[in-house]
Amino acid sequence: MGVNSTNMGNLSPQWNGNGKKTRSVTFCVTEDCNLACKYCYMEHKNKRKRMTFEVAKKAVDYILNDREEFRDNAIVWDFIGGEPFLEIDLIDKVSDYIKQQMLILDHPSFNNYRFSFSTNGLLYNTPKVQKYIRKNKGHISVNISVDGNRVKHDLQRVYPNGKGSYDDVVKNVPLWMEQFGDVQTKATFAHDDLPHLKDSIISLWNLGIKWVSANVVFEDIWEEGDDEIFENQLMELADYVIDNELWNDYSVRFFNPRIGFPLDKELKKDNFCGAGHMLAVDCEGRYYPCIRFLDFTLMNKVGLCIGDVDHGINEDLQRRFWGLNLENQSSQECINCEVGTGCAWCSGFNYDVAETDTVYQRATYLCKMHKANVRACEYFWQKYEEATGKKSPRREIREEKLGVHYLQFITGNSITPHCNYRNNFKTKESMSKKLIEKGLKFARDNHYTPVFLGNQDGNLEENYPNNIFILDSKDKTSSKNNITIYNNEVADTSNSSDIATILISKKNIVKIYKFIEELNRKKRINIVLQDVEKWELEDINEYEDQLRQVSQLVIESYENGTYLSINILTDRLNLNEHYGCEAGVNSIALAPNGKLYICPAFYFDEPENNIGDLETGIKVKNDHLFKLSNAPICSECDAYHCMRCKFLNEKLTKEINTPSKIQCVISHIERNITRELQQRLIERRLLSSVDKIPKIDYLDPLEKIIRNKKEA
């Protein structure tokens, strides 16, 4: 699968401070507004309060002169209201003062600053605003709020007399786009306007606003069934995007491919919003951690003031924000949420509705809405893959975060095995086309990457291109990504795939060096040892001998820069924790009988031993035994490259988490020869001397465990 370059779900590229750390400073220049939007968070807007130049000047002086407190070398000067353009004369004067002072003081932000505006757009085309924009053209960003289509916009964004403002705003959009190119707007959805969501986003795109940073409100207003309406609207929007192939040029944040994954360690230590790292100044010159902590934006609490223009910032009052992170303000449910990424909050709103005057209590009224968003997002990206045949960014992110999960299709009972198992089936039964299709759907729905074992006489690769195939060397393949299996002979090396698996039976141990030498040009060679349970001392000795010879090939490849990679010899060089087989965890197998297995070995050994099917899903009993921490011998072992084959474990010791002696001995011989190889590579300066493999005096870690127990 190739990867498409798509903008869908992203926000428009934001100014990044020209590579410098950026501080945002917000001036609330007026609490007045020429609209009376119904959902406006500014609860107590009024016509009285306006900022004076003197107040703004004091704030600018403080910010530019106190380099201890304001160390950032890039600044976004944000002007907000009410409606900021009502105060364009003041803004002009303040902006000029900022520019002059930055220059006079040789402030580093003179090279890196922006004047930023969030406006309802009604005054955008007035001569004064236009003059200001021309004067500061190289340093301005403007965000005009268009809330959707006319119905939706006029439901919310109304004049004080109740009349909608849509027409008056939209007539300024072409000028805005002409001046700022690819613009972005923010559309906010609440209970009443959810049914207009799809049409609203499409309408914004049709206006030419390609980037829509849409969201739903944080407030406790959601009613029973709202999540379903939301999800349906988003799914209809997804269909529209797919039908019209809009994914490259248009974007709405609801389809952000990053949302809806479990939280990793870093995210848990992060705060979603930047409160405390920004500064807001109200009309009277009081400082706040962000605009959402100002008095007139809160419903229940008084503003969380942290200082003023006459006294500066009271650091003690700001301290609470420095330690604020996801983990310490969220419930266990949110910390462990399976779909927690992208679930948003606003620290100002949290503060307003918290039971005490704290910022450490996260409000979660939008929980079900976020989950609905994630389901619809998932739906969109699946449709995207079906429509384009390409790997979606969402899949990329999933694989990065959660690892790749494989569904292996055992396409017939006569396939050449690719791992520690024998195919003793006498039948030629093949997987039906219907089952393959069903399996592919299951893979898509459950985020598995399909891997085909066998090619059904060359038909499958043609019918299902762009997938991974593991094929016998006698099957022709044209893809470098496929894996070729050489079954105890290397007859034809012309195969184009880069990865070779060589099956070695007991009688062919003696040929290991020869086979590897013949396949030396492959990027990767995997050796699979068959019937290890029958190995005797002389086999072990022969194996050791062969590995020593292969080591020489590896050294030569390091000398000539081709770096031969062989599972049994070079993997351990680069590992410092167990790698191990992921069967039953990150990969499962689908057999021609429609059943699912931990891996093909379990199917070929005993078809009854399945773990479910495509209809009822996967049920692995006692899957805690798959974890390394529950494998008592392996968890004490440092043969990190060892496959820890669950199938052989179960077959030879009857416990899936316990290896037999011969498995351990073989892996330790590999480990020890790798150690010799490492020493030789270091001596020749072909490898750095970090992470040296230690010398040990056992071939079976159980010996060490028993010894330690006795000593204890």
Partner 1 sequence: MEKELVGEVLEEEKYEILRLFERKIALEEVALTLENEGLNEKERDKLRKKVEEEYTKNKENLSTWWREKSEKYSWKKVKNGVWEIDFNTNKIILKG
Which positions touch partner 1 (CB under 8 A)? 18-19, 93, 96-97, 99-100, 102-104, 110-113, 135-139
Q: How many CB atoms lie within 10 A of CB 677?
A: 24
* Residues 319-348 as x/- pattern, contact with ligand SF4 by CB under 6 A: --------------xx--x-xx--x-----
Q: Tokens for 667, please give them.
A: 């892996």
According to CB under 6 A, which residues from 557 to 616 bind ligand SF4? 581, 583, 599, 601
Look at residue 135 and give the partner it binds from partner 1, ligand SF4, none, a contact being a CB closer than 5 to 8 Å depending on partner kind.
partner 1
What is the full DSSP assignment across 280-326? EE-TTSEEESSGGGSGGG-SSS-----EETTTEE-HHHHHHHHS--H
**Nearest distance, CB of residue 655 and partner 1, angstroms:** 53
**Nearest distance, CB of residue 18 and partner 1, angstroms:** 5
Q: What is the dihedral of CA 233, 235, 237, 239, to 10 degrees?
A: -150
Q: Which residues contact 162 (CB under 8 A, 6 or more apart)?
A: none
701 near ligand SF4 (CB under 6 A): yes
| Alpha-helical segments (H) within 193-270 | 197-207, 226-243, 265-268
**Nearest distance, CB of residue 82 and partner 1, angstroms:** 25
Cβ distance to ligand SF4 smaller for residue 86 or 339:
339
Choose the stretch contacting ligand SF4; rule: CB under 6 A; options: 70-78, 129-137, 182-190, 661-669: 661-669
The residue among 256, 255, 258, 298 whose CA lies nearest residue 280 is 298
* Residues 620-639 as x/- pattern, contact with ligand SF4 by CB under 6 A: -------------xx--x-x
**Nearest distance, CB of residue 615 and ligand SF4, angstroms:** 24
Pairing relation of β-strands 278-281 and 188-189?
A: unpaired
421 near ligand SF4 (CB under 6 A): yes
**Nearest distance, CB of residue 100 and partner 1, angstroms:** 6
Look at residue 18 and give the partner it binds from partner 1, ligand SF4, none, a contact being a CB closer than 5 to 8 Å depending on partner kind.
partner 1
Look at residue 421 and give the partner it binds from ligand SF4, partner 1, none, a contact being a CB closer than 5 to 8 Å depending on partner kind.
ligand SF4
Look at residue 493 and give the partner it binds from partner 1, ligand SF4, none, a contact being a CB closer than 5 to 8 Å depending on partner kind.
none
Look at residue 701 and give the partner it binds from ligand SF4, partner 1, none, a contact being a CB closer than 5 to 8 Å depending on partner kind.
ligand SF4
Contact 178, 328 (CB under 8 A): no
651 near ligand SF4 (CB under 6 A): no
Contact 141, 180 (CB under 8 A): yes
Look at residue 370 and give the partner it binds from partner 1, ligand SF4, none, a contact being a CB closer than 5 to 8 Å depending on partner kind.
ligand SF4
Q: Which residues contact 201 (CB under 8 A, 6 or more apart)?
A: 148, 187, 212, 214, 237, 252
376 near ligand SF4 (CB under 6 A): no
Contact 191, 216 (CB under 8 A): no
Cβ distance to ligand SF4 smaller for residue 284 or 638:
638
Q: Tokens for 539, please give them.
A: 């086999």
370 near ligand SF4 (CB under 6 A): yes
Q: Tokens for 251, please give them.
A: 């974007």
**Nearest distance, CB of residue 399 and partner 1, angstroms:** 26
Indicate the burial class of 395 (C-beta count within 10 angstroms; 0-12, 13-18, 19 or more).
buried
**Nearest distance, CB of residue 283 and partner 1, angstroms:** 21
Pairing relation of β-strands 587-590 and 215-216?
A: unpaired
Q: Is the dihedral of CA 621, 599, 450, 259 positive or negative?
A: positive
Distance CA 489, CA 502 (A): 8
Contact 53, 90 (CB under 8 A): yes
**Nearest distance, CB of residue 427 and ligand SF4, angstroms:** 21
**Nearest distance, CB of residue 438 and ligand SF4, angstroms:** 23
Distance CA 86, CA 122 (A): 10
- Contacting residue, 647, 662, 677, 678, with ligand SF4 by CB under 6 A: 647
Distance CA 125, CA 435 (A): 62
- Contacting residue, 371, 383, 394, 395, with ligand SF4 by CB under 6 A: 371
Look at residue 103 and give the partner it binds from partner 1, ligand SF4, none, a contact being a CB closer than 5 to 8 Å depending on partner kind.
partner 1
* Binding interface with ligand SF4 (CB under 6 A): 333-334, 337, 339-340, 343, 364, 367, 370-371, 419-421, 581, 583, 599, 601, 633-634, 637, 639, 642-647, 659, 663-664, 667-668, 701
